[in-house]
Amino acid sequence: MNVLLVYAHPEPRSLNGSLKDFSIRRLEAAGHAVQVSDLYAMDWKASLDVHDSLDHEDGVRFDPSLASRHAFERGTQTGDITREQEKLRWADTLILQFPLWWFSMPAILKGWVERVYAYGFAYGVGEHSDARWGDRYGEGSLAGKRAMLIVTTGGWESHYGPRGINGPMEDLLFPIHHGILYYPGFDVLPPFVIHRTGRIDAARYARIEDELGQRLDTLATTAPIAFRPQNAGDYAIPELTLRDDIAPGRSGFAVHVA
């Protein structure tokens, strides 16, 4: 299959850099085609602004959604944006690899999402009616593809446990898993998370490669997180609240997993 690895770490000679190189080798050895978007090496423009539309006229009020919609429809997006969209179309599986900085993805990767996820491409897709609220959350331009995060963090696993002070890792990643990946249609696999990156000796590094290798070997068969599709009856439309008879009395991120 075709795998797109979007990678956000500034230093090639880092744990992240080593694992990126390992992943490419492992995937290619298994016969997959791999493209890498190494955002720091590409000097990726992180901030969404008027310059993302080639036909922006000075002095015209900038509406980010409207400008994105027009540029996507008219073919006036900048080349860096269209190239990433082409890679996403080409990919069967998307991997986002990054260190957890301040409990989310690095700014350079957030800016990749904001700029590449154009209106008409990743949002603003499909019709709104009494039965549907656009093609999103399980439907959309990227439906049928898979996605997985590879995340590193300096903190201990217990700090990110169910009662850990940082909050549970699965909840910290929910806005990415559900809001960035499931939203435009990806099936989202459980993440591969490495804790306590300041304490990795050769033996532990070898174990990490083993475990990551198994995850890469099973990308096509691993069961995705069972997020609930928006338009299949679980949610009231247009309120988009979970129906009373589903997960009754519960609330929070977890109710959106069947």
Query: Could you give the CA distance from residue 211 to residue 241 in angstroms, rounded to a whole number?
Result: 38
Residue 144 CB neighbours (<10 A) = 10
63 binds its own copies (CB under 8 A): yes
Among 162, 211, 220, 233, binds its own copies (CB under 8 A): 162
- Least Cβ distance, residue 197 to its own copies (angstroms): 10
Joined tokens for residue 169: 């890792």
User: What is the rounded distance in angstroms from the CA atom of residue 203 to the CA atom of residue 230?
Assistant: 44
Tokens of 226: 């069972």
* Closer residue to its own copies, CB minimum distance, 118 or 219: 118
Closer of 167 and 224 to its own copies (Cβ): 167
- What is d(CA 246, CA 55) in angstroms, rounded to the nearest whole number? 47
User: Please, which of residues 198-237 interact with its own copies by CB under 8 A?
Assistant: 230, 235
Q: At which residue do the structure tokens 């990054």 appear?
A: 98
- The answer to whether 131 contacts its own copies (rule: CB under 8 A) is no
Listed ranges 74-82, 150-158, 199-207, 210-218: which one lies at the site for its own copies (CB under 8 A): 150-158
**Total residues in contact with its own copies, by rule CB under 8 A:** 64
For residue 106, give Cα distances in angstroms to 56, 98, 111, 154, 203: 28, 7, 9, 14, 28
Nearer to its own copies by C-beta: 218 or 241?
241
Smallest separation (angstroms) from its own copies to the CB of 138: 10
185 touches 94 (CB < 8 A): no
Can you state the angle between helices 15-29 and 202-217, rounded to 10 degrees?
A: 40
Q: Which of 107, 143, 193, 200 binds its own copies (CB under 8 A)?
A: 107
Q: Closer to its own copies by CB, 150 or 180: give it.
A: 180
DSSP three-state, residue 205: helix
The reply on whether position 106 binds its own copies by CB under 8 A is yes
Binding region for its own copies (CB under 8 A): 10-11, 13-14, 40, 44, 46-50, 61-65, 99, 101-104, 106-108, 110-111, 113-114, 117, 137, 154, 156, 158-159, 161-168, 171-172, 174-175, 178-180, 230, 235, 238-242, 247, 250-256
